[in-house]
Structure 1
Amino acid sequence: MSLPPGDRVAGGLAEEGGRVPDVVIEPDADRLTRAVASALVARLAAAQAVHGTATVVLTGGGIGTAVLERVAALAAEPERERVDWTAVDVWWGDERWLPAGDAERNETGARQALLDAVDVPAARVHAMPAADAGFAEPEDAAEWYAGQLAAAAPEGAPLPRIDVLLLGMGPEGHVASIFPDSPAATDERLVVAVRDCPKPPPTRISLGFGAINAAEEIWLLVAGEGKAPAVARALRERPGPDALPAAGVHGRRATRWLLDAAAASGLDAPA
């Protein structure tokens, strides 16, 4: 499955599997949003055709939320390809350690943008715990979420099959809640508590790279000129994930950098 037509450029090094990124460039953020939403619907429908169910890991941020809003709009169009939302498992890549319902939580945004409009059963919506959910520390909440992932996995496996994992990227190259030089970049646990984040709120819960890179496909959604230097560095230099976390992302089958022209503008400059 590929995205609708956009400018594609070769990215990354000659490595195996999903370590060779597929870079797709759309003219602007709106076109990017529409292309990703259509592709996500197609990918989830394809997963259901093969497995009977589909699993997606959501992200927050402007583009991530806009994509979910567009997916909700597509779900309301009967002539479009259909996803059986009763057979979709929804997880999150990271979450802010804030009370339930806080507007800054990724769960809150996803419910408003998509989940309240489609019929995903409550048991299939696997939100990361809120700060008022009864856990003494975020580390306890992270351990609990890892247990939820294991409970949904095939016997003996730590994780369920993840068909698509969506990620945004910050201007400094962070993904999920893994920031440059953060201990989370080298933490081997599947779910980690992250403290002292340079971007508020300072305390969060995040999938670690062991969980992120277990996804079948990872889609990085990046828009805006301010992120162009990090995009170019990640795709050209491929520094270590502690220096530039986005460079440490690779899906098992595919890694897709889905960019608007502004975010891709650094790829045109001399190396």
Structure 2
Amino acid sequence: MLYSNLYVQMISGMNIFCLDDWVIEAASILHSKVEEVLLEKGKCSILLTGGRSGASLYEAWSSKSSFQDLKNIDFYFGDERCVPFKEPDSNYALVNRTLFSRGIPPGCNLHRIKADSSDLEGVAMHYAALLPQQIDVALFGIGDDGHIASLFPGSLAIREKRRRVLPVVTPYKPSIRITISPLVIKDSDSIFALAPGPKKAAIFKSLHFDCSATGSEAIPARLLTRAIWLIEKRYL
């Protein structure tokens, strides 16, 4: 991929985009990657993240004039809070008020995790069957504690070897959620770690420069072994 006014560094074997204007440049990187996949395959699957980083990225991406021209994209979620889907805490609601503020581009589909259901195990099984075996572009916001999706430090879900999607109880409200497991991350093609700001950059440094750093159960972001990290240059 070619990106003007951007450069990539390799640190400890990891790809990093060091960005001056994180939100604008990150949106351009993502858009270029999606166009690349569409050119190659004619379709694209994207795993969406929640959180402030995701929301900022989605607003910048959707403001591009070419965003509404995208076709043949299936959008999925990496996790969802178990709240009514129109509540502000819902990732589905977040995506609709940011990425799809002008509507879903014609020819694209958004697949909701129906986490407001009473049968969470059934919802998880249904969504696991709905997800493609390989996600083309997977987005992960990085929590200040190193969590990704709803995989938090100490979560038993990080050890999951069988289920691709499962209900979890997290330390933060809304505490009951549905999340992908590491199996989905492992099978994803292009993975982007959204890491603007000093706290996210500190997580990256802890993962790649601190020899005493512990495993993925302590810092779930360690699961993103093949990710391209999008970091603000001034914090590296």
The Cα of 1:121 is off from its aligned counterpart by: 5.3
1:155-195 Cα deviation digits (max 9, x unpaired): xxxx1x42210100111110111011100111122112111
Mapped partners of 1:39, 1:210: distance in 2 = 25
Bigger drift between 3-12 and 185-194 goes to 3-12
Amino acid at match of 1:86: K
Most deviating of 220-229 and 163-172? 220-229
Q: Deviations over 1:105-144 (max 9, x none)?
A: 111111111224254458721111131xxx3342222111
For 1:1-271, list aligned pairs within 5 A. Answer: 1-6=1-6, 8-12=8-12, 20-27=13-20, 31-74=21-64, 76=65, 84-120=69-105, 124-131=109-116, 135-149=117-131, 153=132, 159=133, 161-188=134-161, 189-195=163-169, 197-236=170-209, 237=211, 239-251=214-226, 255-261=227-233, 264-265=235-236
CA contact (8 A) 1:55 1:90 kept: yes
Q: CA deviation at 1:85?
A: 2.9
Q: Any idea what SS the aligned residue of 1:23 has?
A: strand
Partners in 2 of 1:65 and 1:261 — Cα distance?
Answer: 20
Contact 2:49 2:141 in 1 (8 A): yes
Which amino acid in structure 2 is aligned with residue 114 of structure 1?
Answer: L
Residues 86-110 of structure 1: per-residue CA shift (max 9 Å, x gap): 3111001111111111111111111
Structure 2 gaps, min length 5: none
Moved over 4 A (4+): none
Aligned residues between the structures: 233
Is the 8 Å Cα contact of residues 2 and 39 (structure 1) preserved in structure 2? Answer: no
Match of 1:268 in 2: none
Q: Write 1 or 2 for the structure with the bigger share of strand.
A: 2
The aligned counterpart of 1:269 is: none
**2:215 is matched by which residue type in structure 1?**
G
Q: Secondary structure at the match of 1:205?
A: strand
Give unpaired runs (5+ residues) of structure 1. Answer: 13-19, 154-158, 266-271
User: Is the CA contact (8 Å cut-off) linking 1:168 and 1:222 kept in structure 2?
Assistant: yes
**3-state DSSP of counterpart to 1:86:** coil
Identity %: 26
* Whole-angstrom CA distance in 2 between matches of 1:105 and 1:62: 13
Cα distance per residue 1:37-86 (max 9 Å; x no partner): 11111111111111111111111111211111111111x2xxx5x67433
